[in-house]
Amino acid sequence: MLQSGEYLISSTLWVRRSNITVDGAWPWPVLRRSVGFTQELMYTDSGSNPSWVTIRNIYFDGNRYNGATSTSFELNLYGCSYCMVTGNALFISSPYFALGTDNTKPQAVTYVNLQGLEYLGIYTSNGGTQCSDASGWSPSRCLNVSNSWFYSIGVNAIGFDLNNALIAYNSFNYNHTKCLFGAPGGQIDLDTGSNDVLVQNNSFTNGPSCPNDFWAVGVELHGSNIALVDNVIQNNTGEGIYMEGVHNISVSSTNPSAYPISNNNERGHGYNGCWGFPAIRIHTMTGKPQSETITISNLWLTAGQSYGVEASACRTGSGPPVLGLTVQNNCVAGNLVGGLYLPAAWYPALSNNQTSGCGGY
């Protein structure tokens, strides 16, 4: 039990034992990064490979407003199997990456707040053999990010290579505020190494414009076998969902009026060439992998200043065709330019997509 108080951290706290809870006593203790210290505040030592560690009731303060810098994480869970960060864990003011998770081990982040971070909220990677068996706990997912709050994070709230993952019931609001990688991007980015991810019942809202003239989109996809179900994606500056080089993607809802993808493209009609940002864009570009097997169904894709769904090489000229695109049973009304624009899609299967008389239009 870590006693209440503020601890100025200038060397890493190592967690090497298994079957323990690293707990804080209320008022929750604050681990604050010392200016000049750039390593992890807390690290589950990958040398000893601990398991069943729970970390809770601790504030991790990256102290960036007082000049602290970092080349690592506030908390790094690398090497830790069946390890969880939960209740009242808070990550604030991180100058770099806040929480590192290891995609070779089962890990969970639930009921956690991440706010005011310079770069990334949760960075998932390792490079070893990806975790495939999480049967020791339920839900049996290798990465479980749930019930958490992500606000005002400079780049992605979650990235990049998630495997056998569940992202559910989180609120992502006003993230990707700085576009520090010199590009637009998603409040979450499931990159090329992401595989088998369920994104369910989250909200992705108010992704802003960045000071360097790039912008935030709701969800950015480059991976494989990803399902987005029942997510609210609204009022993002760029697209609601942007995908490129993806395989086997499904975007759907069980109740389209309750989970709209609407009012995106806050930058407005005509921004950045083409026709602005659609609710869902499948982008193709020479030199990038081909997108194939994408289903978009039972959604309200409304109230944008461009299209409901666009599959094109917009802004980049040309690219490989999009194969196996199905767009069915959607409402694509209320978009300024039109419902569907799919010049890059090879024989898409289209059915029952309404351009009026639905979604309040």
Among 13, 90, 323, 358, binds other proteins (CB under 8 A): 90
66: three-class secondary structure by DSSP: helix
184: three-class secondary structure by DSSP: coil
Question: In the sheet where 216-221 sits, what is the strand order?
Answer: 13-15, 42-44, 73-76, 97-101, 120-124, 158-160, 185-190, 216-221, 241-244, 280-283, 307-312, 338-341
Among 1, 127, 137, 356, binds other proteins (CB under 8 A): 137
Of residues 49 and 329, the one with the C-beta less far from other proteins: 49
Count other Cβ atoms within 10 Å, centred on residue 154: 23
Interaction of residue 203 with other proteins, rule CB under 8 A: yes
Build a one-symbol-per-residue string for 215-254: x at contacts with other proteins by CB under 8 A, - elsewhere. Answer: -----------------x----------------------
Build a one-symbol-per-residue string for 150-189: x at contacts with other proteins by CB under 8 A, - elsewhere. Answer: -x--------------x-xx-x-xx---------------
CB 207 within 8 A of CB 177: no
| CB of 44 vs other proteins, minimal distance in Å | 16
Q: Which stretch binds other proteins (CB under 8 A): 34-42, 84-92, 183-191, 307-315?
A: 84-92
Among 17, 18, 49, 111, binds other proteins (CB under 8 A): 111
In the range 57-76, which residues lie near other proteins by CB under 8 A?
Answer: none
Nearest to 110 by CA among 143, 61, 137: 143
Token pair, residue 231, equals 């997510």
Q: State the amino acid at position 94 in one-letter form.
A: S
Q: Which stretch binds other proteins (CB under 8 A): 41-49, 137-145, 187-195, 313-321?
A: 137-145
Count other Cβ atoms within 10 Å, centred on residue 5: 11
Q: Which stretch binds other proteins (CB under 8 A): 60-68, 107-115, 248-256, 330-338?
A: 107-115
Q: From residue 242, give the alpha-carbon distance in Å to each of 34, 89, 190, 249, 310.
A: 38, 31, 11, 12, 10
CB 4 within 8 A of CB 26: yes
| CB of 316 vs other proteins, minimal distance in Å | 33
Q: State the amino acid at position 348 in one-letter form.
A: P
Of residues 72 and 88, the one with the C-beta less far from other proteins: 88
| CB of 334 vs other proteins, minimal distance in Å | 20
Of residues 9 and 168, the one with the C-beta less far from other proteins: 168
Q: Which residue has the tokens 């994480």?
A: 73
| CB of 127 vs other proteins, minimal distance in Å | 24
Distance CA(186)–CA(307), nearest Å, equals 19
Answer left, alpha or beta for residue 308, where phi above 0 means left and psi between -120 and 50 means alpha.
alpha
How many residues bind other proteins, per CB under 8 A?
Answer: 39
Interaction of residue 205 with other proteins, rule CB under 8 A: yes
Build a one-symbol-per-residue string for 10-39: x at contacts with other proteins by CB under 8 A, - elsewhere. Answer: ---------------xxx------------
| CB of 111 vs other proteins, minimal distance in Å | 4
CB 157 within 8 A of CB 129: no
Among 76, 94, 103, 115, binds other proteins (CB under 8 A): 115
Does residue 27 have a cis peptide bond before it, meaning omega lies within 30 degrees of 0? yes
Rg (CA), the chain: 21
Q: Which stretch binds other proteins (CB under 8 A): 10-18, 104-112, 269-277, 323-331?
A: 104-112
CB 85 within 8 A of CB 102: no
Interaction of residue 140 with other proteins, rule CB under 8 A: yes
Among 31, 80, 84, 197, binds other proteins (CB under 8 A): 84
Q: State the amino acid at position 210 in one-letter form.
A: C
Q: Which residue has the tokens 């081990």?
A: 105
- Which residues here bind other proteins, judged by CB under 8 A? 4-5, 25-27, 52, 82, 84, 86-88, 90, 108, 110-111, 113, 115, 135-140, 144, 146-147, 149, 151, 166, 168-169, 171, 173-174, 201, 203, 205-206, 232
